[in-house]
């Protein structure tokens, strides 16, 4: 179970609205991914190590976590379509590496969510349970109306096609609500607001992420020296190259004169340009300083020195070509401003604190959990065997394939 779009929409029903609700959603998603990564590191093994751990032990198709069963199908269901697609287009070794990582990640997430759900459901009253059931009904109706034109039978057919059912979907939504309610009451209220010094440290560390460099939508006419070479010339001498350079310069100057005379840039580019942007009327697209290859940097420098849009540059001379550039649009960029960014910085700080608390909670629950079998890799092994296999590998365990 992932805290994705569905979970975000359910927050309003739980009273998490406005900025706090949005921040809580992002925090949950980040915590989910953070724990997913941690779970992968704990559970991920190479194919050889999975085989070595399970030599002499039969794979098991059910993993019990504190008495709650997780089945092979529950692990594979959400990732089976992706695996079927990848097994057709990836090399066997590359696919098996992806498959092992995907399965381990899913198992880790399901263990995590099971532990959180079991902890969260302990203190739910009958009244709260009825309230949650009503929220589940609302969410199902919203999805049916939004995605299936109000036809529940279509919704149920799609669920069946993915190996699920309406009852499974209702249970998934309910589990999300229960976990979010518990996290709100036990974790989120522990998150403190940052001090100004803490915000400044975040700003200094991440301000490059907030800033956007200036950019300009470049129009370009390129007249290369090579385009003026005589037909069939392969190794021209200095005299020929000098003559061709003069012709290219004259052509570029004529193009600029046409622009100054009021001609459309696309028309002039079509007549004079020899670059591959000629067919696009000279339109290059958005560029910023340092975003083009070295030979074009003089042209971009000229572009950023232009006072406004619609003004052609002087002819820019380089060893291999002559350029005329013009700005179709100018974006001044965004500079990181501490005062303006404070709401975002506060949200990021609180998300980080939330993640730390959730991670600590999950680690505690994992240490106290009871697993059957105790060696979780026996269950992982069973999932790997049941996953789509590269053609020719049949039903053999991917962990034992060479």
Residues 6+ apart with CB under 8 A from 68: 114, 117, 118
Least trusted range by pLDDT, from 38-47, 231-240, 354-363:
38-47
Q: Say if residues 248 and 272 touch (Cβ distance below 8 Å).
A: no
CATH 1.20.210.10 for domain 5-206+340-386: no
Structure tokens given for 387: 């996953």
CA distances from 121 to 102, 107, 184 (A): 28, 21, 13
Express as a percent the part of the chain with pLDDT over 90: 52
pLDDT tier, 235 (very low <50, low <70, confident <90, very high otherwise): confident
Could you report the per-residue pLDDT of 77-101, keeping only the tens digit for each? Answer: 889 889 999 999 999 999 999 999 9
pLDDT at 1: 33
d(CA 133, CA 97): 40
CB-facing half-sphere around the CA of 29: CA atoms within 13 A: 13
d(CA 102, CA 323): 50
Higher pLDDT, 21 or 224: 224
CA distances from 306 to 310, 311, 327 (A): 9, 7, 8
Express as a percent the part of the chain with pLDDT over 70: 83
Residue 56 has pLDDT above 50, yes or no: no
Average pLDDT value for residue range 352-357: 89
Cβ atoms < 10 Å from Cβ of 141: 12
Q: Say if residues 345 and 204 touch (Cβ distance below 8 Å).
A: no
Cβ atoms < 10 Å from Cβ of 333: 11
d(CA 99, CA 82): 10
| Nearest residue to 380 (alpha-carbon basis) of 81, 68, 95, 46 | 46
pTM above 0.85, yes or no: no
β-strand pairing of 215-224 with 321-331: antiparallel
pLDDT tier, 149 (very low <50, low <70, confident <90, very high otherwise): very high
Residue 31 has pLDDT above 60, yes or no: no
CATH architecture of 215-331: Roll (3.10)
Average pLDDT value for residue range 176-195: 87
Q: What is the largest CA-CA distance in the chain?
A: 95
pLDDT at 47: 42
Q: Say if residues 217 and 327 touch (Cβ distance below 8 Å).
A: yes
Delimit the domains of the chain by residue range: 5-206+340-386, 215-331
pLDDT at 348: 87
pLDDT at 396: 46
**Average predicted confidence (pLDDT) for the chain:** 83
Cβ atoms < 10 Å from Cβ of 139: 21
Average pLDDT value for residue range 95-117: 93
pLDDT at 329: 96
Structure tokens given for 148: 């299936």
CB-facing half-sphere around the CA of 117: CA atoms within 13 A: 21
């Amino acid at each position: 179970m992932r805290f994705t779009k569905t979970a975000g929409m359910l927050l309003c029903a739980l009273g998490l609205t406005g900025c706090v609700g949005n921040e809580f959603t992002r925090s949950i998603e980040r915590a989910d991914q953070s724990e997913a990564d941690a779970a992968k590191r704990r559970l991920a093994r190479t194919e050889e190590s999975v085989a070595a751990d399970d030599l002499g032990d039969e794979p098991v198709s059910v993993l019990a976590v504190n008495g709650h069963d997780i089945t092979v199908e529950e692990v594979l269901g959400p990732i089976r379509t992706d695996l079927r697609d990848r097994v057709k287009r990836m090399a066997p070794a590359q696919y098996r590496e992806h498959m092992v990582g995907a399965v381990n990640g899913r198992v880790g997430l399901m263990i995590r969510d099971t532990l959180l759900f079991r902890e969260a459901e302990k203190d739910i009253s009958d009244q709260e349970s009825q309230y949650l059931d009503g929220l589940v009904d609302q969410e199902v109706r919203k999805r049916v109306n939004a995605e299936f034109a109000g036809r529940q039978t279509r919704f149920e057919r799609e669920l069946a096609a993915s190996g699920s059912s309406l009852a499974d979907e209702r249970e998934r939504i309910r589990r999300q609500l229960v976990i979010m309610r518990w996290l709100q009451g036990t974790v989120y209220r522990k998150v403190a607001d940052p001090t100004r010094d803490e915000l400044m440290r975040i700003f200094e560390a991440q301000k490059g992420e907030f800033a956007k460099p200036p950019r300009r939508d470049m129009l370009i006419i390129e007249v290369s020296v090579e385009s003026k070479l005589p037909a069939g010339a392969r190794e021209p001498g200095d005299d020929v190259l000098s003559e061709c350079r003069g012709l290219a310069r004259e052509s570029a100057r004529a193009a600029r004169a046409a622009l100054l005379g009021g001609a459309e840039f696309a028309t002039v580019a079509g007549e004079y340009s020899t670059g591959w942007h000629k067919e696009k009327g000279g339109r290059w697209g958005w560029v910023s300083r340092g975003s083009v290859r070295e030979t074009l940097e003089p042209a971009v420098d000229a572009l950023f020195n232009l006072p406004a849009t619609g003004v052609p540059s002087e002819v820019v001379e380089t060893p291999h070509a002559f350029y005329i550039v013009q700005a179709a649009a100018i974006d001044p960029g965004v500079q990181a401003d501490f005062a303006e960014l404070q709401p975002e910085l506060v949200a990021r700080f609180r998300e980080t604190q939330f993640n730390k608390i959730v991670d600590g909670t999950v680690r505690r629950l994992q240490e106290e959990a009871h697993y059957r079998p105790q060696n979780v890799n026996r269950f992982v092994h069973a999932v790997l065997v049941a996953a789509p296999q590269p053609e020719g590998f049949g039903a053999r365990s991917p962990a034992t394939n060479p």
